[in-house]
Amino acid sequence: MLRYAGSFLARHVRGAGALPPALRLPALRAAAAYPPPSLALGGGLPSADGRRTTTILAVRRGNTVAVIGDGQVTQGGTVMKPNARKVRRLGPGGSVIAGFAGATADAMTLLERLEGKIDAHPGQLLRAAVALAAEWRLDKYLRRLDAVLIVVDAKMSLTLTGGGDVLEPCDGIVGVGSGGTAAIAAARALVSVADESAAARQESSNTVGTAETAAGAPGMGAEEVARRAMKIAADMCVYTNDSWVTEVIVDGEGAPATTEGGDTDAQTSKGAADALASTAAASPVTSDPEGEVMAEGDPGKRKGKKEGGGGT
């Protein structure tokens, strides 16, 4: 009781010197043990209005990175909206993908400032993220914004918090929100199983350097790993639904379009990396050295040049 009384007096009376000597030291200790809520906002604590109940996941695999987020907005025990868009593209040409967990207005404010930093430092995502984190931490108004951001480009993935943290995962997998831990665990398990399966197939076939080995398990690109992990997180977390928005960046191949949908779309739609691979592959053709084909029944008559397969 003395602890809470001293904390209250220390915060509402000008200076600890106004307290009696017997209460002065306990009051200072109690005030230090319970920092103001504004110092905790933007860190790892839940938001005051309960809107950090979501799941955002980023998976980097090979030259592809996918960011997926659910659309559920929950306030208390009520689902306010099932299809909110929490993953967006930023920067020139949509070269950066950002996902957020937290209060929507706060996150939008931070994304606008991040886009300004990206425009000021083109092609330098780490520098732009550090600049935003420093401003977010030091500004007396921004430090009250309650959100956590995931930002990725073709080279790196980062997590930004209001505590001044700029974190890059060691394995290219990062998640935030109430279901973030479950999504990360599921994605790591899927990647591990895919790599082990690819290694076993390579050993059994004695084939080295094939395209299948380089890409891991067939059909287990970054986007599919993200979708499967998100499905597991949605089954475990009551604040995460199966209405997803996915953004994909393929290094050196451009930026594919956004895909939206849940578990049904994951079964019917192809991944961005698979789509690029299928359009880039050409059908094998046979022709004479001059690239022409003889007409049947007349060796001296030519049909003309044979068209190669693989047209889009």
Q: What is residue 185's DSSP assignment? A: H
The angle, 0 to 180 degrees and rounded to 10, between the axes of the packed helices 272-280 and 222-236 is: 160
Instruction: Compute the distance between CA of residue 64 and CA of residue 61 in angstroms, rounded to an integer.
Output: 5
Nearest to 112 by CA among 134, 88, 95, 93: 88
Instruction: Compute the distance between CA of residue 168 and CA of residue 307 in angstroms, rounded to an integer.
Output: 48
Burial status of residue 109 (CB atoms within 10 A of its CB: 0-12, 13-18, 19 or more): middle
Whether residue 54 lies in the annotated active site: yes
Look at residue 167 and give its three-state secondary structure. strand
The active-site residue, picked from 53, 54, 161, 259, is 54
The full DSSP string for 80-124 is EES----EEEESGGG-EEEEEEE-HHHHHHHHHHHHHHHHHSTT-
Instruction: Compute the distance between CA of residue 50 and CA of residue 28 in angstroms, rounded to an integer.
Output: 31
Active site residues: 54
